[in-house]
């Protein structure tokens, strides 16, 4: 008996330690981001840093304006959402309401598999297939552009949108739908007027998760976006917040390196905001 | 919505497979995580506020540590430590050389601090470095110093294999890079736009190309990639593209053009006829005796024995 009790308490401590480990990791990362990111912002000036339109980190007269990166990240994510959400939502509707079980049994694992593909593979295929295709179709001089990145991101955010939306749609009480059908609504009307509105907070959570993935993605976009610090344009070579950090880190020194940490801090803030939105959406969903 | 499903009294409407349940649980975990992050954020912010004065110090930590490394320099002849620093472009070569040297002389410790050619030359001249490293020759006003070339860096100008352009002058390359020449037909090629594919800011190859061609900070890039291999792949994939790459990395997936009629080869870099090249030099103080270890390293690095090491590091050995 005593031994059992001892094991219990030892295990309790072990669980607590494991729990603390992730808290410590988060605290460490947050603390480090702030400590490492603030100096360059101080030196450059917050306004110059956030709203400067020119980035020339190694020029004789260096410029550290990250507005192009911020806008690119926002536009890129927005574009991915515009393309990915309709496709993802309709896939979820299909899986949840329309598809015969056998078809769903093929589509669902395929979507899940999409989530498991490493981002470098997305980037590679984007680079080898998508970029030349974009170049041909739109008659561009170079296919590496924001548009190519948006397409890659749109595919990458599909799994989180589909899975979470499907779960939410499945959770809509069948009575709602049956009532709608009994009142003479068609299946499509029922889906769009009853099921989706009833599942909207779950769908929103899926979209926010997708946004989180899109804004934090570095490897895949680095391989298709061209990485030039231009102000964003659909067919221009652009650099995202993530790729701005990743591409220059290896040889950076001095203020350039510190500025990269500051970019990471800005990115970190973006992710924090998205996380709190997710929190808010879910809380609202709980109350509803 | 989530709570609807977890308390759902209706049979068959609850998450209908394990996977979905996992996803739902994942969301709740995420929720908990973000709460933790928020907590941690507040904690670290208050911590930051308390030590705001020390934050400023940390900012210069990198600099202090580097100068600290430099000041451990060995003025004595027996200590066996050699401090080098300077050009970032020479990094691969100098690290390969010092590694090989230290393997043969285990008592010697060679440090390298990548600070840029200018800082390397200054360091050699004010004595903070035993050996300054520079990827350019000394300027006329940099007197009292000796430059010893230990390797050469040849940069090839590469175009897509479909491109019919065979030869470019330095002037034409400058025009292509800065965007003054926007169509290949202007330099005798096909009627298609020009796309410059290059390396990221801070790369030694980029610095080398831009400084030799004279287009510092003036290049109009269409792609900035983080490795020589990626540049070559991008040029191979786009018929409009041209780029630059270390001579040793160029393969037959792309075409290296001749510059002013001279082909880019190891031989033409060594005899100085190929224009887009620069020397990697050791900078030491004139008339001042080096420590035994430093002198031994310079002798080693300029001997024929290291040609292979230099070539493997992507540079061209001195003939």
Is there a single domain that holds both residue B170 and residue B266?
yes
Mark whether B163 and B250 lie in a shared domain: yes
Q: Which residue of A has its CA nearest to B236?
A: A128
Q: Identify which has the larger pLDDT, B47 or B257.
A: B257
B225 DSSP β-pair partners: B199
Exposure string for B176-191, b = 16+ CB within 10 A, e = fewer: bbeeebeebeebebee
**Is there a contact between B47 and A31 if contact means CB atoms under 8 Å apart?**
yes
Closest partner residue to B34 among A112, A166, A278, by Cβ?
A278
Q: Which residues of A touch B218 (CB under 8 A)?
A: none
Structure tokens at B97: 């050389």
Q: Can you give the length of chain A in residues?
A: 288
- Number of folded domains in chain B? 3
CB contact under 8 A, B27 and A205: yes
In chain A, where the domains are located: 67-255+264-287
Asked if B95 reaches chain A (Cβ–Cβ under 8 Å), the answer is no
Q: What is the pLDDT of residues A118-163, one digit of tens each?
A: 999 999 999 989 999 999 999 999 999 999 999 999 999 999 999 9
| pLDDT of A67 over the 60 cut | yes
* Distance (Å, whole) CA B243 – CA B249: 13
- Would you say residue B311 has pLDDT above 60? yes
What does the pLDDT read at residue A24? 96
Q: Are residues B177 and B223 in the same domain?
A: yes
Q: Average pLDDT for residues A74-78, to the nearest whole number?
A: 95
Domain contains B82? yes
Query: Domain check: are B42 and B141 in the same one?
Result: no
Does B92 map to a domain?
yes
Residues B146 and B250 in one domain: no
Cα–Cα distance between B214 and A8 in angstroms, integer?
Answer: 72
Neighbour count for residue A207 (Cβ, 10 Å): 23
Mean pLDDT of the region A101-119:
91
Q: Per-residue pLDDT averaged across B196-200, rounded?
A: 92
Does B120 score more than 70 pLDDT? yes
Topology of the domain comprising A67-255+264-287: MetI-like fold (1.10.3720)
Residue B253 lies in a domain: yes
Q: How far is CA B224 from the centre of its chain?
A: 13
Q: With b meaning 16 or more CB within 10 Å and e meaning fewer, what string describes B202-212?
A: bbbbbbbbbeb
List phi, psi (to 5°) of B8: -65, 120
Per-residue model confidence (pLDDT) at position B43: 44
Residues B137 and B188 in one domain: no
The answer to whether the CB atoms of A288 and B1 lie below 8 A apart is yes
Q: Is B29 exposed, middle or buried (0-12, 13-18, 19+ CB in 10 A)?
A: exposed
Mutate to test the interface with B, among A99, A161, A236, A253 (most CBs of B within 10 A): A253
Can you tell me the mean pLDDT for A105-115? 91
Nearest CA in chain A to B16: A170
Averaged pLDDT for residues B145-156: 92
Mean pLDDT confidence for B248-253: 88
Mind giving me the DSSP string for A205-221? HHHHHHHHHHHH--HHH
Nearest-Cα residue of chain A relative to residue B36: A23
pLDDT for position B228: 85
Whether B308 and B212 share a structural domain? no
Structure tokens at A147: 């548009």
Work out the percent of chain A whose per-residue pLDDT is above 70. 99
Report the pLDDT averaged over residues A219-247: 93
pLDDT at B65 over 60: no
pLDDT above 80 for A182: yes
DSSP type of residue B33: H
pLDDT reported for residue B79: 56
Q: Please check whether residue B225 touches A, CB under 8 A.
A: yes
Find the residue in B nearest to A105 (Cα).
Answer: B17
Mean pLDDT lowest among A268-272, B154-158, B199-203, B242-246: B199-203
pLDDT given for residue B66 in this prediction? 39
Reported as a pLDDT band with limits 50, 70 and 90, residue B132 is: very high
Q: Residue range A51-69: average pLDDT?
A: 91
Chain A residues with beta carbon closer than 8 angstroms to that of B27: 164, 205, 209, 278, 282
Which of these ranges, A283-287, B30-34, B132-136, has the smallest mean pLDDT? Answer: B30-34
Asked whether residue A73 carries a pLDDT value surpassing 90, the answer given is yes
Please check the confidence at residue B194 and state whether its pLDDT lies above 70: yes
- Do B187 and B82 belong together in one domain? no
pLDDT at residue B140 in the model: 81
Residue that the structure tokens 């955010």 belong to: A157
Tens digits of per-residue pLDDT, B5-32? 433 433 334 444 444 444 444 444 444 4
Judged against a pLDDT cut of 90, whether residue B138 lies above it is answered with: no
Query: ∠ CA(A37), CA(A39), CA(A41), 5° rounding?
Result: 75
pLDDT at A225: 93
Q: What is the CATH number for B147?
A: 3.40.190.10
Same domain? For B157 and B266 the reply is: yes
Within-domain flag for B25:
yes
Distance between start and end Cα atoms, chain B: 75
> What is the distance between the alpha carbons of residues B101 and B264, in angstroms, rounded to a whole number?
30
Domain coverage including residue B178: 153-270
To the nearest whole number, what is the mean pLDDT of chain B?
Answer: 78
Per-residue pLDDT tens for A12-27? 999 999 999 999 999 9
């Amino acid at each position: 008996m005593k031994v059992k009790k001892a094991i219990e308490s030892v295990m309790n401590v072990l669980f607590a330690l494991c729990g603390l480990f992730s808290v410590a990791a988060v605290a460490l990362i947050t603390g480090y981001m702030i400590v490492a990111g603030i100096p360059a912002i101080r030196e450059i000036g917050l306004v110059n840093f956030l709203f400067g339109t020119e980035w020339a980190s190694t020029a004789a007269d260096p410029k550290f304006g990250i507005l192009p990166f911020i806008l690119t990240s926002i536009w890129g994510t927005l574009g991915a959402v515009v393309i990915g959400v309709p496709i993802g939502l309709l896939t979820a509707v299909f899986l949840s309401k329309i598809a015969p079980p056998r078809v769903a049994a093929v589509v669902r694992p395929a979507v899940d598999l999409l989530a498991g593909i490493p981002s470098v593979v997305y980037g590679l295929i984007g680079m080898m297939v998508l970029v030349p295709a974009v170049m041909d179709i739109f008659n561009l001089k170079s296919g590496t552009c924001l548009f190519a990145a948006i397409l890659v991101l749109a595919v990458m955010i599909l799994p989180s949108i589909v899975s979470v939306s499907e779960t939410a749609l499945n959770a809509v009480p069948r009575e709602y739908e049956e009532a709608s059908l009994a009142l003479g609504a068609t299946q499509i009307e029922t889906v769009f007027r009853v099921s989706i509105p009833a599942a909207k907070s779950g769908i929103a959570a899926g979209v926010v998760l997708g946004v989180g993935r899109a804004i934090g993605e570095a490897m895949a976009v680095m391989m298709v976006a061209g990485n030039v610090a231009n102000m964003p344009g659909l067919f221009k070579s652009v650099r995202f917040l993530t790729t701005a950090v990743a591409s220059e880190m290896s040889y950076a020194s001095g203020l350039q390196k510190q500025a990269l940490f500051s970019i990471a801090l800005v990115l970190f803030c973006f992710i924090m905001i998205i996380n709190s939105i997710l929190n808010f959406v879910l809380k609202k969903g709980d109350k509803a | 919505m989530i709570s609807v499903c977890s308390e759902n009294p209706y049979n068959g409407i609850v998450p209908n497979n394990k996977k979905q349940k996992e996803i739902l649980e994942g969301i709740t975990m995420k929720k908990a995580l973000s709460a933790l992050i928020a907590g941690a954020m507040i904690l670290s912010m208050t911590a930051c506020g308390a030590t705001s004065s020390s934050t400023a110090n940390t900012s210069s930590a990198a600099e202090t540590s580097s100068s600290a490394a430099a000041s451990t320099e060995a003025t004595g002849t027996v200590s066996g430590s050699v401090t080098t620093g300077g050009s970032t472009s020479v990094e691969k070569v100098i690290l390969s050389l010092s590694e090989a040297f230290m393997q043969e002389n285990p008592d010697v410790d060679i440090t390298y601090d990548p600070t840029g050619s200018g800082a390397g030359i200054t360091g050699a001249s004010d004595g903070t470095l035993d050996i300054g490293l520079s990827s350019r020759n000394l300027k006329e006003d940099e007197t009292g110093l000796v430059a010893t070339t230990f390797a050469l860096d040849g940069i090839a100008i590469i175009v897509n294999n479909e491109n019919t352009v065979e030869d470019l002058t330095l002037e034409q390359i400058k025009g292509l890079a800065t965007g003054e020449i926007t169509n290949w037909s202007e330099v005798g090629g096909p009627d298609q736009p020009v796309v410059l594919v290059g390396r990221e800011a801070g790369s030694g190859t980029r610095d080398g190309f831009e400084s030799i061609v004279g287009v510092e900070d003036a290049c109009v890039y269409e792609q900035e990639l983080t490795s020589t291999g990626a540049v070559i792949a991008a040029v191979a994939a786009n018929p409009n593209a041209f780029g630059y790459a270390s001579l040793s990395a160029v393969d037959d997936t792309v075409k290296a053009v001749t510059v002013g009629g001279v082909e880019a080869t190891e031989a033409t870099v060594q005899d100085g006829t190929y224009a887009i090249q620069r020397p990697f030099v050791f900078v030491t103080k004139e008339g001042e005796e080096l420590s035994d270890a430093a002198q031994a390293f310079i002798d080693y690095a300029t001997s024929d024995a290291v040609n292979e090491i230099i070539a493997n590091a992507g540079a061209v050995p001195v003939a």
